Amino acid sequence: MIKLNSLQYKNDGDLEISNDLSLQTLSNNDVFERLEKEFLSKYSFENLSTFSFCKDGFLGLLLQLGKKGKIAISVGETQALFEAGKTYESLGFELIWIELEKNGQVNKEQIKEASADFVFISSYVMDTFVKTNLEEIKALSSAVIISNASADFCQDSDAVYFDSYKLTGFSTSSVLLFNKELFEEKSFGFIDSIAVNTVFKALENQSFENDLQEEFKSKLEEVFSENIYFFVDYKDTLSYTLHFALKDIKAREMIRTLGLDEIHITNGEGCSLGLSKPSRIIQAMGYDELTSRNALSLTFCEKLDSKTIEKIAKTFAKKYRQIKVLNEQ
C-alpha cells in the first residue's frame, strides 16, 4: 500500500487506553500531569485543553472569543471551523472572513485592514497546503493568531490546535494549546486525556519526506503532458506535498480507481475516500465547482525511490486514460 494522502487520512494509529490516564479528583494524576507538562514544554505554551473537532466544538471557541473582541477567519482553514463561522454569523454575531487570492495565497491586505483581535489562520491552507508566513501576518496585524498545527507547527502562533483524526485515524478530541486566559478553563473531568496522549505520541512519530516533491511533479508532467495543470505554484506549498489537477475527469474517479491498486490519494479535506464533494478551497480561490473537481493532492511521508515514483506516475496515467475512455462511451 502506498499512502499519498496521510495529511488528510492517516488511519494507522494505535489508540491507547490506560487506567493511568484516568483523571481522578482525589488523586495526584501524576501520569497525565507529566504528559501535559511535556506537551506544553514541547510547543512552549502555558495551558492545555481539549475540544470536539467539529462545527459545534469550534463554535464554542468562537463564542468564548466573541466576548473579548473581533474575530477573523481565513477561508483556507478546516471545514469544521468554516462551518462554525457560518453558524456564528447566523446567530447574529459579526465575523470577518479573510479570502484567498487566485494563486492560493491568503489575502494579506484584508488581514491588515480587518483590525481583528483574534484571527484563525494557519501556516498552511487546507487542501492545497500553500504556505502562509505567520511572521509576516504578525507584522500586519496585532491579532492573536490561532492555528491548526496538525501538518505544520509555527512558533509565531499564539495558540494552536491539533486535529486528532488527521494525526491518529481516531475521532477523539482535538488538543488546544494556548497562553494566559485566552480560553476558559475546563473542568478537570472534561479533559480528554486519551486524546492528549494519542495526539502527543502521533506528533512525536510524525515525519515527512521533503525531497520527493520535484521528482513527482516532473514524472507526472512527463506522463500527462498537456493533461496536467496546477492551481498553485508547488514552490509555495509545504515541501512534502504536491497539488495538481487533471483535465476532463473528476478527482473522485482517480481516487477510487487508484484505491483498487492500493495507492491512496486525496482531492481535499473530507474527500480522500472519493466522495462527491469538490474542494471548497479551490472554489474560494475563484474557480467554478466543475473545475474544482479536477484537483488532486499528494503527501509524502515515506521514502520512495525513482523506480517506484515512475511506476506510480505510469499507473496514474493508465487509470486516467481508462477513465476517459469509459466517460466517452
What confidence tens digit (pLDDT) does each residue in 21-48 have?
A: 676 665 677 788 899 999 999 999 999 9
Cα 284–Cα 289–Cα 2 angle in degrees, nearest 5 = 85
Q: Per-residue confidence at 274, pLDDT binned at 50, 70, 90?
A: very low
Strands of 33-173, DSSP E: 47-51, 71-74, 96-98, 118-120, 144-148, 159-162
CB 140 within 8 A of CB 112: yes
The pLDDT value given to residue 273: 46
The Cα 48–Cα 61 span in angstroms is 14
Distances (CA, A) of 273 to 173, 268, 298: 22, 10, 14
Strands of 75-185, DSSP E: 96-98, 118-120, 144-148, 159-162, 174-178
CB 123 within 8 A of CB 151: no
> What integer best gives the mean pLDDT of the chain?
91
The pLDDT value given to residue 68: 97
CB 162 within 8 A of CB 153: no
Arithmetic mean of pLDDT, 54-63? 97
Arithmetic mean of pLDDT, 64-88? 97
Query: Where is average pLDDT lowest: 24-28, 67-71, 195-199?
Result: 24-28
CB 244 within 8 A of CB 228: yes
The pLDDT value given to residue 125: 97
Q: Per-residue confidence at 328, pLDDT binned at 50, 70, 90?
A: confident
- The better pLDDT of the pair 290, 270 is held by 290
The pLDDT value given to residue 6: 78
- The better pLDDT of the pair 218, 289 is held by 218
Q: Per-residue confidence at 189, pLDDT binned at 50, 70, 90?
A: confident
Q: List, for residues 122-179, the tens digit of each pLDDT value.
A: 999 999 999 999 999 999 999 999 999 999 999 999 999 999 988 988 888 999 999 9
Q: Say if residue 207's pLDDT is above 80.
A: yes
Cα 253–Cα 210–Cα 207 angle in degrees, nearest 5 = 85
Highest mean pLDDT among 27-36, 112-121, 270-279: 112-121
Three-state secondary-structure class, residue 16: coil
Q: Per-residue confidence at 272, pLDDT binned at 50, 70, 90?
A: very low
What domains, with CATH codes, occur in the chain?
19-205 (3.40.640.10), 209-328 (3.90.1150.10)
- The better pLDDT of the pair 202, 26 is held by 202
Query: Where is average pLDDT lowest: 66-80, 234-248, 315-329?
Result: 315-329
The pLDDT value given to residue 4: 87
